[in-house]
Amino acid sequence: MLLLIPPINLLAFAIIGAVMSRHRGGRVVLFASLVGLVLFALPAVSGCLMALLESGLEHSPAPAQPPQAIGILSADQQRVISPDGIGWRVGGLTLEREAAGAVLARQTHLPILVTGGVIRDHAPPLADQMAASMDKDFLSDVRWREVRSGDTWQNAVYSAAILRAQGIDRVYLVTHAWHMRRALIAFRRAGLVATPSVVQIDAVPDLQASSLLPSARGWHESYYAMHELIGWAWYALRP
């Protein structure tokens, strides 16, 4: 899966082009791949890709009827060393979503659902770790845990089943702005009225000299952006 998404797949193409560089076609593939790798490494390019995903979310209309619950989507998980040995904890992106969800819960007094299954071998479900983290780090109670999902589409399907069993069909959806469009499609297709509650919306990059210099962060952001753009298109076409 990773090799299908730019800019990672461009590295594979560059290697193929280098191996075939005795042929004109190989040199073309190598040159085009290297150009693509440089472009995706520019913060100006990655920032514009992020802005494309996030545009318009700052003006999301208020729901016709108020949501009945808060759904916080999981993101990442980290393997760490603790006094008890090797363990796991929620990652930085997941913590950001938890923090935003905790603030929203204090403002609205709505119950919280966290969603995330097993995404790493031998690791616990993310929703279980999120519930513990919400209690310890943000003093917020989690009412429901969805622990079966492995991706955003399953987040939506399994969360909807839990919430509808409680008579709930309207939720605030808490996730990062770059992930929100794909998440909204999934949750609405699952039969929920989902209102976006974004963690943050990134500013459009300034055209400064630093934004035109390749960086590892540019590659990192470009990967997330391309992953979401491809996923957004796939979810939009998915029956």
Which one is predicted more confidently, 204 or 64?
64
Q: What is the mean pLDDT of the chain?
A: 92
- Spatial separation of the C-alpha atoms in residues 46 and 66, rounded to whole Å: 35
The mean-pLDDT minimum among 31-45, 98-112, 174-188, 192-206 falls in 192-206
What domains are defined for the chain?
2-55+213-237 (no CATH), 63-198 (3.40.50.620)
Which pLDDT does position 196 carry in this prediction?
96
The mean-pLDDT minimum among 65-74, 99-108, 151-160, 211-220 falls in 211-220
Which pLDDT does position 189 carry in this prediction?
96
**Other beta carbons less than 10 A from residue 95's beta carbon:** 19
* pLDDT at residue 218 tops 80: yes
Maximum pairwise Cα distance, the chain: 66
Which pLDDT does position 122 carry in this prediction?
87
- Spatial separation of the C-alpha atoms in residues 225 and 221, rounded to whole Å: 6
pLDDT interval class at 3 (50, 70, 90)? low
Give me the mean pLDDT over the 105-115 stretch.
98
Give me the mean pLDDT over the 45-54 stretch.
91
Query: Are the CB atoms for 229 and 204 separated by under 8 Å?
Result: no
pLDDT interval class at 1 (50, 70, 90)? low
pLDDT digits (tens, 9 = 90+) for 20-41: 988 999 899 999 999 999 999 9
- Spatial separation of the C-alpha atoms in residues 69 and 111, rounded to whole Å: 5
* pLDDT at residue 62 tops 90: no
* pLDDT at residue 131 tops 70: yes
Which pLDDT does position 169 carry in this prediction?
97
Which pLDDT does position 210 carry in this prediction?
79
- Contacting residues for 226 by C-beta, under 8 A, at least 6 apart: 5, 6, 7, 40, 49
pLDDT interval class at 194 (50, 70, 90)? very high
Would you call 73 helix, strand, or coil by DSSP? strand
- Spatial separation of the C-alpha atoms in residues 36 and 95, rounded to whole Å: 32
